[in-house]
Amino acid sequence: MADYYELLGITRDASDDDIKRAYRKMSRKYHPDIAGPEYENKFKEVNNAYEVLSDPQKRQMYDAGVDPNNPNSGAQGFDVGDIFGQFFGSGFSGSGQQPIPRTQPGRDALADVTIDLKMAVFGGTAHAQIHTFGLCQTCGGSGAEKGEKPVTCPVCKGQGYAQKVVRTLLGQMMTTAPCERCEGHGTIIEHPCQDCQGHGRVRVRRDVGVTVPAGVADGSRLRLVSQGEVGEGGGSAGDLYIDVHIKADKLYTRDGDDLHCWISVPMTWAVLGHDVELETFDGQRELAVPAGCQPGDVVDLKDLGVTKMGSQDRGDILVHVMVQIPTKLSEQESSLIEQFAASHDSNAHEVAQSSKPLQGRKGLFGKIKDIFS
């Protein structure tokens, strides 16, 4: 007998809420639309486990060692009242079970959407393609053709269950089981809808608009209420969960609410200072590279980063400055550099060495500026 508790990853003393949470997690994990068609059997096993453990009577049977989903167990529909009913009368019988409703709530669905970094900064609307069960438009979810209504089952007279003799450890006993004619519903559909085969739902592919909040992080999961799978018999739809993925951007790297980029500037711009045009998600912005800027220095543009979740505030853009050192110089350029070296580095005989980054000596670029001026 399959271990339904192990399938859902719960203990035997799990509460109803624990079972529901575990089912939602495992059904999303093994849903064929997400995990792939090879997980269809695993998905069915998870559904079977939930069907048993979410029903108090079936769970009681299972805990007693009888699998209500196993037709060979001879105990489908069995409960403790069936035994007492054989000895003490029908007052203890479990035959008072209600017919199984044709309309069942739908399961949750899971999909992915990929957005660019700009949408993560400002928010917006993305679109996800999902393949799931939707309402049958031909019958409107009723499962019957031409507006027909289900009729009372002639076998069980609308009870949904029928008595049958089963063989148990105590001998042959009378118990109840779902009616084979109506499958426990108490009614039958004489002329099922040809499109949905009486299920009230069909497989559909839908384009779903997803409202992406400003500041959303990569890997976030968004919930769209009642946008998931439509249930049997046109039942209410489950929720749709959207996993958000953010594409790598060519200009910026995100770190929390800040954006980082790297620019390369000529040595003279770093020495003398220079204003540069920077492309941002808010359009062109002017960045002032300060005079004496060192390689690897960071210059920031305030409030042009990612919008902070639940706020109008934004992070910053942090610009890392890389300095281009010329590799070929004209005679005049070499002469100017040599003048600087004679003025500034005449006493230099050894290099400074440290296990940590060294700070440049103040006034270095100021002296270079004087030479170029």
User: Do you know the residue count of the chain?
Assistant: 373
Q: How far is CA 303 from CA 50, 249, 259, 284, 352, in A?
A: 50, 19, 10, 14, 38
Question: What value does the mean pLDDT take over residues 83-88?
Answer: 43
| Residue 224 C-alpha from the chain's centroid | 11
Residue 74 is predicted with a pLDDT of 45
Dihedral angle computed from the Cα positions of residues 60, 63, 69 and 71, in that order, rounded to the nearest 10 degrees: -100
For residue 289, which phi and psi values (nearest 5 degrees)?
-80, 115
Residue 3 is predicted with a pLDDT of 86
Q: Which residues are annotated as a binding site for Zn(2+)?
A: 136, 139, 153, 156, 179, 182, 193, 196
| Alpha helical stretches, state H, the chain | 4-8, 16-30, 32-35, 40-53, 56-63, 80-88, 117-122, 267-272, 331-344, 364-372
Residue 73 is predicted with a pLDDT of 52
Q: Is the pLDDT of residue 360 over 60?
A: no
pLDDT tens digits, 143-198: 999 889 999 999 999 998 887 777 766 667 777 788 889 989 999 999 999 999 99
Q: Which residue has the higher pLDDT, 126 or 337?
A: 126
Dihedral angle computed from the Cα positions of residues 303, 295, 261 and 275, in that order, rounded to the nearest 10 degrees: 60
Residue 220 is predicted with a pLDDT of 94
Q: Is the pLDDT of residue 79 over 70?
A: no
| Alpha helical stretches, state H, 89-217 | 117-122
Q: Which residue has the higher pLDDT, 58 or 214?
A: 214
Rounded to 5°, angle at Cα 130 from 21 and 253: 85
Q: Which residue has the higher pLDDT, 361 or 119?
A: 119
Residue 170 is predicted with a pLDDT of 65
Within 10 A of 207 (CB to CB), how many other CB atoms are there? 8
Q: Which residues are annotated as a binding site?
A: 136, 139, 153, 156, 179, 182, 193, 196
Going along the chain from its start, the domains and CATH numbers come out as 1-73 (1.10.287.110), 105-132+199-247 (2.60.260.20), 253-372 (2.60.260.20)
Q: Is the pLDDT of residue 80 over 50?
A: no
Least confidently predicted of 169-173, 280-284, 285-289: 169-173
Rounded to 5°, angle at Cα 93 from 87 and 99: 160
pLDDT tens digits, 94-104: 445 788 899 99
pLDDT tens digits, 296-346: 999 999 999 999 998 999 999 999 999 999 888 899 989 988 888 888 777
